[in-house]
Homo-oligomer: A and B are copies of this chain.
Amino acid sequence: MTQRKLRLGAFIMATGHHIAAWRHPGSQIDSGVNIDHYIEVAQTAERGLFDQVFVADSPGIGFRGGEEALRRQGRVSYFEPVTLWAALSAVTKHIGFVATASTTYEDPYLLARKFASLDHISKGRAAWNVVTTSADNVHGNFGLDAHPDPALRYERAHEFVQVVKGLWDSFEDDAFVRDAASGVYFDPAKLHALNHVGKHFRVKGPLNLERPPQGYPVIVQAGSSEDGKELAAATAEAIFTAWTSPAEAQAFYGDVKGRMAKYGRRPEQLLVLPGISPVIGRTEEEAQAKWAELQALIHPAVGLAAIAPFWPGEDVSRWDLDAPPPYIPEAPKGIQSRTQVVLELARRERFTVRQLYEYLAGARGHWVVVGTPAQIADRMQEWFENGAADGFNVMPPVLPASLNEFVDLVVPELQRRGLFRTAYEGRTLRENLGLERPGNAFAQAQRAAA
């Protein structure tokens, strides 16, 4: 029996995940709009045999804190994900591309089309990270007076995904004949209009693009709220999540996989990939020194702006940095579960204000592991072999430097342990991830009726 292998995604965030990364000499300072930087990063990830690269996204600018914090934020200008990945697909051969796109603010026909196009352009390496958009600063860009509430967003998301899949099925896989001699290009009997009429959408179809090489681009989900877990159980093939202890990760892993049966799905059809932000040193001392160097680059105004959303309405800038926050609020319902995790941690650890923002500074509450390649591999192996993860979404604190270190130092360690591939197995992202290629729903319905 082949040993189960862990899956690796590289979660790419411009200059890196650490909040002060852009000030670090190991980052590319203008990377949000520097295509050569992204080419380098994607090619490095491919050299490291990563399954995929991933970018988060929101169609708007998130303003946090006052002007003093704003001018110090390095994340206000960045490429649109699908155009970015289309470009990188032309200069890579194996790695997959996970693009984030919003079911709340995009249109299903246009979205189905651009992801199908990306899947064809990349020859089967596209994935869609389905988000309902949690930022509250976006609705005004789309003529809305308010951000729709979570229940409505998730209801729309379920229908949106259904419509998009239906559009991807417009042409059956063998619809195209292309026989120059007879002059027959395709078989119209294998072209299907969706004729969707639902609560949120009416979409006639068909899509003007043949079925994606992967059938459907891989569906990814990243919310860990109740609604998010339900959407993942119903539709996702990979889920990005944020936990800092194996116990929490195990509970989540069991929870989300346990919800799949009611949608007629098997646990292995969904890969659970927690985030890990590795700070790598050849020795533990070197790793700790790197971490301290990064933390020292955080301007307090930026740190305070990072924690301010947990205390809505409060002017946190007046707080003593070296005392605990004056009070810990309850996490609002329906908000992404990371908020709950962070507030619970602050309460339990009696963090000072500075400790709290330094904790979040690493990777916004994701799991930060500071250590040697062997120590980092130990922790990944522990989670992987104990029902906490099917792999990881690696969040380099500084880009490109930290990704280079991971590929050069941690990947070989994982390979030595037999935990990670030594060559790509498949031609498509879906094949590399060990996910089945979905059948065409129209074709299946016709066969069932025959």
A interface residues, Cβ below 8 angstroms from B: 20, 22-25, 29-30, 32-33, 35, 39, 58-61, 67, 70-74, 76-80, 82-84, 86-91, 105-107, 109-110, 113-114, 116-118, 120-121, 123, 140-143, 171, 176, 178, 180, 183-188, 191, 201-206, 208-210, 297, 299, 302
Contact pick for A204, options B78, B141, B209, CB 8 Å: B141
Establish whether residues B33 and A209, one from each chain, have CB atoms under 8 Å apart when the complex forms. Answer: yes
In the bound complex, residues from chain B placing their C-beta under 8 Å from that of A109 are 59, 141-142
Contact pick for A72, options B86, B91, B184, B204, CB 8 Å: B184
| Besides A22-B180, A76-B186, 16 other A-B contacts (C-beta < 8 A) | A20-B183, A29-B178, A29-B180, A30-B176, A33-B209, A58-B208, A60-B208, A71-B184, A71-B187, A76-B185, A76-B191, A80-B113, A80-B116, A87-B87, A91-B91, A141-B204
In the bound complex, residues from chain B placing their C-beta under 8 Å from that of A86 are 82-84, 86-87
Provide 16 A-B residue pairs closer than 8 Å at the C-beta atoms, listed in order of the A residue.
Answer: A33-B120, A35-B90, A58-B208, A76-B186, A76-B208, A79-B120, A79-B121, A86-B87, A87-B90, A88-B90, A90-B90, A90-B91, A105-B110, A106-B107, A106-B110, A107-B107
Contact pick for A183, options B35, B202, B299, CB 8 Å: B299
In the bound complex, how far is the Cα of B189 from the Cα of A437, in angstroms?
50
Cβ distance A180 to chain B, nearest Cβ, rounded Å: 4
Taking CB as reference atom, which chain B residue is nearest A39?
A: B90
Q: Given A30-B178, A185-B22, do A209 and B114 touch, yes or no (CB 8 Å)?
A: no
In the bound complex, how far is the Cα of B87 from the Cα of A22, in angstroms?
27
In the bound complex, residues from chain B placing their C-beta under 8 Å from that of A204 are 140-141
Closest 10 CB pairs of A and B: A140-B204, A80-B117, A86-B86, A143-B202, A83-B86, A90-B90, A77-B210, A83-B117, A109-B141, A87-B90
Establish whether residues A121 and B76, one from each chain, have CB atoms under 8 Å apart when the complex forms. Answer: no
